[in-house]
């Protein structure tokens, strides 16, 4: 069973070693964009109130958007609404502790996100310009998971993809991108269809470079919540798609302190140990009870203090 514990200085040193070796893959969740975009719970409540959602779980975005899709007789209605919310928004990249900027400045080859926005790619573009200067041709590649296509569709396109590098990184949108509303994993039906495709017999949904990143590098989860159903589904689905996932001894799960009261931290850690013990065969799961901005600030400070990059 994996050890579930808060990070020590040795943990931080191990993480920074893996980052320095480009052997770490960030997994970015909604909390990373919480300073710019509304949380799922807030958005669900707003849409539930506006559309007279009849059930009591008006905090559940997947349930509320499923209701909207049925009520409007249009499966793309909530996705287009989400598109309108994201369009034109951008974090403050002048803030050195902005989470996407901190992650971009680590100079890693692969970034995976379940967010619909382009914030990670925008941060990488700025970071590459700071490192190489504008007009040098180095830029991130954005790729969308094509879970909504028939099995086998686009397989050749995925196989032709060049290998990402720190100078030409890949941002993989596992749950879609707002510019293509059809690609968003948003409603209950979307999540079910996504999971069926991800764990299906053909196993062709994830590009080879992504399964290699999951199987051969440490995973840094940032911006996910203990109460986030997406996070728990993510673990299950990735274990199905990439069975060797999470074998490394370094998995950092960032959780905002609002998820649990301070006096219940020990109980929360015990719950996590039992939960992850059922799905992770080996390795450590390290939990940071910090908000995303504070975690990013500490990561940046420790990374810059190394001076070996």
Cα–Cα distance measured from residue 135 to residue 148, given in angstroms and rounded to the nearest whole number: 35
pLDDT for 264:
64
Structure-model confidence comparison of residues 252 and 283, the more confident one: 252
The torsion angles phi and psi of 247, rounded to 5 degrees, stand at -85, -15
Q: Tell me the per-residue pLDDT of 154-170, one tens digit each, with 9 for 90 and over.
A: 554 555 567 899 999 99
- Residues 52-79: pLDDT tens digits? 999 999 999 999 999 999 999 999 999 9
Q: What percentage of residues in the chain have a pLDDT greater than 90?
A: 50
What's the pLDDT tens digit per position in 122-140?
A: 999 999 999 988 888 889 9
> From CA 215, how far away is CA 293, in angstroms rounded?
28
CB 145 within 8 A of CB 183: yes
Reduce the DSSP state of residue 234 to 3 states and report it: helix
Residue 242 clears pLDDT 80, i.e. is over it: no
Question: How far is it between the farthest Cα atoms of the chain?
Answer: 56
Which pLDDT belongs to residue 307?
A: 75
The predicted structure's pLDDT at residue 129: 94
* pLDDT over threshold 60, residue 282: no
**Residue 286 and residue 252 in contact, taking contact as beta carbons nearer than 8 Å:** yes
Quick: pLDDT tens for 68-125.
999 999 999 999 999 999 999 999 999 999 999 999 999 999 999 999 999 999 999 9
Calpha distance 257→288 (Å, rounded): 9
pTM: 0.89
Q: Averaged over 40-56, what is the pLDDT?
A: 95
**Higher model confidence: residue 295 or residue 281?**
295
Residue for token pair 């960032």? 254
DSSP 211: H
- Contact criterion met (CB below 8 Å) for 37 and 117: yes
Question: 124 phi and psi, to 5 degrees?
Answer: -65, -40
Residue 292's pLDDT band, with cuts at 50, 70 and 90, is: confident
* Residue 150 CB contacts under 8 Å (≥ 6 apart), including other chains: none
Percentage of residues in the chain having pLDDT higher than 70:
73
Residues 256, 31 contacting (CB under 8 angstroms): yes
The pLDDT value recorded for residue 15 is 87
Top pLDDT among 53 and 309 is at 53
Query: Residue 168 carries which DSSP code?
Result: B
Q: For residue 113, which of 20, 19, 25, 244 has the smallest C-alpha distance?
A: 25
Per-residue pLDDT, averaged over 166-195, amounts to: 95
- The structure tokens listed for 246 are 């999470």
In whole angstroms, give the CA distance from residue 249 to residue 306: 21
Q: Among 198, 242, 246, which Cα is nearest to 221's?
A: 246
Order of strands, sheet of 218-222, starting from the edge strand that comes earlier in the sequence: 4-5, 285-289, 251-255, 218-222, 24-28, 110-113, 170-173, 141-144
**Structure-token pair, residue 270:** 């015990």
Helix residue ranges per DSSP H, the chain: 9-20, 40-50, 61-71, 77-86, 99-104, 119-132, 155-159, 188-198, 208-216, 229-241, 265-279, 292-306
Interval 4-35: pLDDT, tens: 566 788 888 988 999 999 999 999 999 899 99
Enumerate the β-bridge partners of residue 22. none
pLDDT number for residue 201: 64
pLDDT-derived band at 275 (thresholds 50, 70, 90) equals: low
First-last CA distance in the chain: 34
Query: What's the confidence (pLDDT) of residue 1?
Result: 45
d(CA 61, CA 41) in angstroms, rounded, equals 6
């Amino acid at each position: 069973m994996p050890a579930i514990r808060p990070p020590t200085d040795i943990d931080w040193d191990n993480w920074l070693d893996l980052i320095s070796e480009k052997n770490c893959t960030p997994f970015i969740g909604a909390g990373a964009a919480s300073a710019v975009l509304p949380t799922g719970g807030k958005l669900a409540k707003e849409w539930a109130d506006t559309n007279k959602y009849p059930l009591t779980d008006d905090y559940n975005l997947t349930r509320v958007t499923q209701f909207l899709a049925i009520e409007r007789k249009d499966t793309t209605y909530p996705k287009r609404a989400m598109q309108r919310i994201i369009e034109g928004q951008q974090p403050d990249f002048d803030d050195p502790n902005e989470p996407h900027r901190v992650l971009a400045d680590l100079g890693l080859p692969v970034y995976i996100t379940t967010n619909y926005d382009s914030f990670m790619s925008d941060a990488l573009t700025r970071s590459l310009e700071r490192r190489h200067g504008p007009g040098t041709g180095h830029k991130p590649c954005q790729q969308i998971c094509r879970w909504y296509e028939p099995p086998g569709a686009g397989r050749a396109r995925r196989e032709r993809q060049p290998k990402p590098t720190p100078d030409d990184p890949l941002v993989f949108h596992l749950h879609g991108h707002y510019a293509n509303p059809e690609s968003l994993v948003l409603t209950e039906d979307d999540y079910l269809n996504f999971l069926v495709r991800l764990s299906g017999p053909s196993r062709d949904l994830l590009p080879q470079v992504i399964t290699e990143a999951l199987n051969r590098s440490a995973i840094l989860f940032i911006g996910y919540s203990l109460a986030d159903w997406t996070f728990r589904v993510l673990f299950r689905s990735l274990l199905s798609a990439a069975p060797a996932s999470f074998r490394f001894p370094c998995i950092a799960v960032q959780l905002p302190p609002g998820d649990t009261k301070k006096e219940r931290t020990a109980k929360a850690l015990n719950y996590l140990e039992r939960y992850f013990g059922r799905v992770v065969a080996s390795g450590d799961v390290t939990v940071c009870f910090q908000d995303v901005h504070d975690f990013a600030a500490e990561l940046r400070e420790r990374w810059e203090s190394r001076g070996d990059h």
